Amino acid sequence: MRRVHGEEGVSVSPEFPSLAGQEAQYLADALRAYKEGTRSDATMKAIAESLEERTINDLASHFASLPPAQPAPATSVEGQPAQHEPLLVRNGIVASLDERTINNIASYYAGLRPSQPASARGAPAKREPSAVREAAPADRRSLGGIISFRRDDLGRTAEENNAICLGCHRRGERTYWDGSVHETRGLACTECHTIMKTVSAEHQLKTAFEPNTCFQCHKDRRAQMFRSSHMPIREGKVVCSECHNPHGSATEALLKEDSVNDTCYKCHAEKRGPLLFEHAPVRENCLSCHNAHGSINQFSLKTSLPRLCYECHTIGHAQAGRNSQFTMGRACLNCHTQIHGSNSPAGAVFQR
Amino acid sequence: MLRPFGSVHGCVVVAALGGVALDSIDAFAQDCCLGGSATGVNAWTNGLATSAQWPATTQSSANMAQSPANADPVPDWWYHGDIEAGGRFFLNNPSRNGARYLGQGGLAKFYEYSTVMPGAFGGGHIAAGSKDGLYGIDLWANNIGYSDQSYFLNASKIGEQYISLGWDQTPHVYSTSAQTPYSGVGSNALTLPPGLLSNTAHNSSIINPYLQQTDIGIERDTASVNYRWRPTDAWDVRAKYSHMSRTGTQVDGVTGFAPAGGSAPNSPTEVTKPVDDTTQNFGVNGEYVGTSPWNQRFTFKVAYNGSVYNDNHSSYTVQNPYCTGATASSCANKTESPFAQLSLPPSNQANAVSETLAAELPFKSRYVGTLNYVMMTQNGTFQPMTDNPNAVTSPSGVPWNSIGALPATSLNGAINTTLSNNILTTQIARDLKSKLSYRYYNFENNTQQITFPSWVSYDQTGSSHENTISSLAISYVKQNAGAELNWRPSPDWNFTSGYG
């Protein structure tokens, strides 16, 4: 091994890597991989198969303890040694790593369990190369500064990952993110958004159909969307973000406007008024009577007519039967047709 | 979903966005994470430039030795898109215009928000952009030529200017099997054919010959434009405008028609109400991000939003089938009017100004506050108490069918709302966060209260009238305060304690 990997672990041949200063855990795992055949090399396999577990650990510890050699100065065009920049920058990443190396290193660390004990499988305690120990910042980034936004990466919380996005995007629609219901529930930006590819037409969402992003969690709203009386959400004409701001807002239910009614007035401005004769529950809240996400009753009402009206009104129209205008068709609205309010002087009971 | 015109262009686009590696996709994927060749210095060797080859893998040397510099050059402009086109037919046509009373199928629900009919259909998406990613444009077209067609155009210079244009048509069909004897459907005057005017009761044998099929529904056409400008990283300015027009019909119930000896209040008639209005929404806002005196970040935003609703009809009339002519004397009940007059939503306006301040504070705290003020006004001219040509003189000395009989000619309605929302969050520990909130909402209705000493119902003559009635301006104030403590010991567990 000394002939191949050099005296003191510093290889003199470009065909064989240096082992001096390598991380002991890595060396031990590499030898085990050769022994098990999960890493293929005929020469190393033959060597590793002859090693016992204790020998593997001893070899790994030995080479990890050796000082790594410094790079040989390159020769400039004029024959003078060129000055290399420091290869490792304190608290920084190694800028000279190529793309494949970065991916390989990231994959290695990503494959480690976060609770890896110091002496996994009998290997000596992990000993980080000194340069890497100095370079690793406190935010638990992987070597090279790679951050995994994956949901199963337990090394980082959603808040920590979100902080990276919010470094630029904590403004505009995200102003109310802190303390919002989604933030409080630990929702990560990557639960809804993907920036590495384009899926949706806008907002970098994970689904082409925007409501499907919300329906990941809000299954009840998806079910309501399919009811007979509904706004054209499933037809692709209305999306959730036309009324709601999922990043937080100053209004209940993450509505974009100051109130429920102000939200509805964006498309239904004919109800805004003010009107001469107001219907009080209409002025207070459209949801007093309607279910905005869908209903089995006509006009997306919460309850069928005339029972909806009976929630507040006890009336003298007690007639029933198949020909009764008080219960059939639009029931109370057969006569009280201006139910949202009337601007007519004769409209006190919403009939004109 | 995007389907590139050609795999070559698709590969080039992906490679260009990936940055350095202008490799072929396959080679890139295979080399990733399988060792590869580390010809440069790296952290493992801590700088030994000559320590080049990692242990050989089963990968071909050709793949492992492939240089990133061998990728195809990126063109000045890239483009991709997809076109969807086809034809539709039904084994059993849903029969959109079927009439239920003839035993046919009327499937208004099937056509509620779209037109799904036999024939061709098409749509598509085209995207183009510069190779440096600075400029981009997208065009979408859906359901071309149908009642629910839509077109959107987005163009941008990344980081500086963004513009979006849109045209959308959304139908809302309530019924395709409605039958009506009235002419002028969709207008503000519904009239009956002379043969149907009678002062006696009507039955189906009398009415049916005059029935004609009509769709009941509205078409909502919306044109929109949005513009965003970021002159610097600190500033963000946006403007938006949309114009929505609605045309069509909805259903109303009319009372006040009765045959001789009948009771007008108990005889509602369903008619088609005209819908012909426009809604314009517009707004502009500016946001600034800066550093506070205590060296932390703050965001300040001011905005103005406006809305104008204009109804082309303030009212509409419906002819009384129990009047043989256009005069009151022709009616079966002499107090009834030959025409009922129903009000339509009046034109109105709304203006809103708002400001939002978000500031990071010491001790890992953050404050967000919003102050909004909205003004809603409406001042459309009232219609007379009745349009009955035989209207008697009101107690004010003016006939009931004159606006002069009213105590006011318009409402002069004004509703102002004030919203103040404040939130203070503090990250006490890594997994412990507090939130204090206070919200104040004042719905202040400044509309004058109008008292009608008497009023007339069902467009009668006013010889008998109702008692005094007053309008009521509804106002309220809503305040909410809350304190929350949120503890998240692990990603799977979240505990919140709050008081509000």
Among A114-118, A249-253, B334-338, whose mean pLDDT is lowest? A114-118
Beta-bridge partner residues of A277: A342
pLDDT on residue B325: 80
**From A70, A176, A265, residue closest to B368, measured CB to CB:** A176
pLDDT on residue B284: 98
Q: Within this chain, do residues A1 and A130 fall inside the same structural domain, yes or no? A: yes
Neighbours of B410 (CB within 10 A): 16
ipTM tops the 0.90 cut: no
**Mutation for testing the A interface, residue in B34, B42, B275 having most A CBs under 10 Å:** B42
Among A74-88, A228-242, B305-319, B483-497, whose mean pLDDT is lowest? A74-88
Interface contact B32-A184, CB threshold 8 A: no
Higher pLDDT, A156 or A27: A27
Q: Is residue A324 part of a domain?
A: yes
pLDDT on residue A154: 72
Q: Calculate the average pLDDT of chain B.
A: 82
**Nearest CA to CA, how far is B210 from chain A (Å)?**
22
**From B56, B57, B457, residue closest to A351, measured CB to CB:** B457
Q: Is residue A91 part of a domain?
A: no
**Nearest CA to CA, how far is A94 from chain B (Å)?**
7
pLDDT on residue B229: 97
Q: Is residue A312 part of a domain?
A: yes
Q: What integer is the mean pLDDT of B324-344?
A: 85
Higher pLDDT, B299 or A327: B299
**Nearest CA to CA, how far is A101 from chain B (Å)?**
7
Residues A101-143 have pLDDT tens digits of 665 666 556 555 444 444 434 444 444 444 433 443 444 555 5
Per-residue three-class SS string for chain B: CCCCCCHHHHHHHHHHHHCCCCCCHHHHHHHCCCCCECCCCCCCCCCCCCCCECCCCCCCHHHHCCCHHHCCCCCCEEEEEEEEEEEECCCCCCCCCCCHHHCCCCCCCCCCCCCCCCEEEEEEEEEEEECCCCEEEEEEEECCCCCCCEEEEEEEECCCEEEEEEEEEEEEEEEEEEEECCECCCCCEEECCHHHCCCCCCCHHHHHHHCEEEEEEEEEEEEEEEEEECCCCCEEEEEEEEEEEEEEEEEEEECCCCCCCCCHHHCCEEEEEEEEEEEEEEEEEEEEEEECCCCCEEEEEEEEEEEEEEECCCEEEEECCCECCCCHHHECCCCCCCEEEEECCCCEEEEEEEEEEEEEECCCEEEEEEEEEEEEEECCECCCCCCCCCCCECCCCCECCCHHHCCCCECCEEEEEEEEEEEEEEEEECCEEEEEEEEEEEEEECCCCCEECCECCCCCCCCCCECCEECCCCCEEEEEEEEEEEEEEECCEEEEEEEC
- The model's confidence at residue B94, banded by pLDDT at 50, 70 and 90, is low
Contacts of B47 in chain A (CB under 8 A): 68, 70-71, 87-88
Q: Are B162 and B154 in contact (CB under 8 A)?
A: yes
Q: Within this chain, do residues A36 and A135 fall inside the same structural domain, yes or no? A: yes
Q: Within this chain, do residues A19 and A128 fall inside the same structural domain, yes or no? A: yes
Q: Is residue A231 part of a domain?
A: no
Interface contact A270-B472, CB threshold 8 A: no
- The model's confidence at residue B55, banded by pLDDT at 50, 70 and 90, is very low
Among A99-108, A306-315, B240-249, whose mean pLDDT is lowest? A99-108
Q: Within this chain, do residues A52 and A186 fall inside the same structural domain, yes or no? A: no
pLDDT on residue A40: 79
Is the confidence at residue A83, as pLDDT, over 80? no
For A89, the closest chain B residue by CA position comes to B43
pLDDT on residue A141: 53
Interface contact A284-B474, CB threshold 8 A: yes
Q: What is the DSSP letter of A244?
A: B
Contacts of B55 in chain A (CB under 8 A): 17, 39, 41, 44
Among A115-124, B87-96, B143-152, B342-351, whose mean pLDDT is lowest? A115-124
Percent of chain B residues topping a pLDDT of 70: 81
Contacts of A275 in chain B (CB under 8 A): 346, 378, 411, 413
pLDDT on residue B449: 93
Q: Is residue A26 part of a domain?
A: yes
Q: What integer is the mean pLDDT of A88-112?
A: 54
Q: Is residue A252 part of a domain?
A: no
Q: Within this chain, do residues A45 and A125 fall inside the same structural domain, yes or no? A: yes
Percent of chain A residues topping a pLDDT of 90: 39
Contacts of A96 in chain B (CB under 8 A): 40-42
Is the confidence at residue B151, as pLDDT, over 90? yes
Q: What integer is the mean pLDDT of B201-216?
A: 86
pLDDT on residue B180: 94
pLDDT on residue B97: 60
Q: Within this chain, do residues A196 and A142 fall inside the same structural domain, yes or no? A: no
Q: Is residue A186 part of a domain?
A: yes
Interface contact A343-B382, CB threshold 8 A: yes
Is the confidence at residue A26, as pLDDT, over 50? yes
Interface contact B43-A100, CB threshold 8 A: no
Q: Is residue A20 part of a domain?
A: yes
For B466, the closest chain A residue by CA position comes to A346
Q: Within this chain, do residues A137 and A30 fall inside the same structural domain, yes or no? A: yes
Q: What integer is the mean pLDDT of B284-305?
A: 95
- The model's confidence at residue A69, banded by pLDDT at 50, 70 and 90, is low
**Nearest CA to CA, how far is A297 from chain B (Å)?**
13
**Mutation for testing the B interface, residue in A99, A115, A282 having most B CBs under 10 Å:** A99
pLDDT on residue A186: 87
**From A97, A235, A352, residue closest to B342, measured CB to CB:** A352
Write the CATH number for A39. Answer: 1.10.760.10
- The model's confidence at residue B8, banded by pLDDT at 50, 70 and 90, is very low
Contacts of A329 in chain B (CB under 8 A): 270
Q: How many domains does chain A have?
A: 3
Residues B109-135 have pLDDT tens digits of 778 898 877 889 999 999 999 988 899
Interface contact B43-A262, CB threshold 8 A: no
Q: How far apart are CA B433 and CA B424, in angstroms?
A: 11
Neighbour-count burial of B94, counting CB atoms closer than 10 A to its CB (0-12 exposed, 13-18 middle, 19+ buried)? middle
For B36, the closest chain A residue by CA position comes to A100
pLDDT on residue A38: 82
- The model's confidence at residue B310, banded by pLDDT at 50, 70 and 90, is very high
Interface contact A232-B49, CB threshold 8 A: no
pLDDT on residue A299: 94
Q: Within this chain, do residues A170 and A131 fall inside the same structural domain, yes or no? A: no
Interface contact B494-A184, CB threshold 8 A: yes
Note down the domain range covering A211: 158-217
Q: In B375-404, which positions are buried (b, 16+ CB within 10 angstroms) versus exposed (e)?
A: bbbbebebbbbbbbebbbebeeeebbbeee
Among residues A122, A146, A170, which one ends one of the domains?
A146
**Nearest CA to CA, how far is B342 from chain A (Å)?**
5
- The model's confidence at residue A88, banded by pLDDT at 50, 70 and 90, is very low
Interface contact B350-A107, CB threshold 8 A: no
pLDDT on residue A33: 87
Among B64-78, B193-207, B362-376, B433-447, whose mean pLDDT is lowest? B64-78
pLDDT on residue A208: 92
Q: Within this chain, do residues A44 and A176 fall inside the same structural domain, yes or no? A: no
3-state helix, strand, coil in chain A (%, to 5): 35, 5, 60
Q: Within this chain, do residues A312 and A346 fall inside the same structural domain, yes or no? A: yes
pLDDT on residue B46: 40
Q: Calculate the average pLDDT of chain A.
A: 80
**From A10, A274, A333, residue closest to B445, measured CB to CB:** A274
Query: How many A-B residue pairs are in contact by the CB < 8 A criterion?
Result: 304
Is the confidence at residue A231, as pLDDT, over 90? yes
Q: Within this chain, do residues A115 and A3 fall inside the same structural domain, yes or no? A: yes
pLDDT on residue A112: 52
Interface contact A275-B31, CB threshold 8 A: no
Among B27-41, B223-237, B431-445, whose mean pLDDT is lowest? B27-41
Higher pLDDT, B48 or B454: B454
- The model's confidence at residue B194, banded by pLDDT at 50, 70 and 90, is confident
Q: Within this chain, do residues A3 and A141 fall inside the same structural domain, yes or no? A: yes
For B273, the closest chain A residue by CA position comes to A337
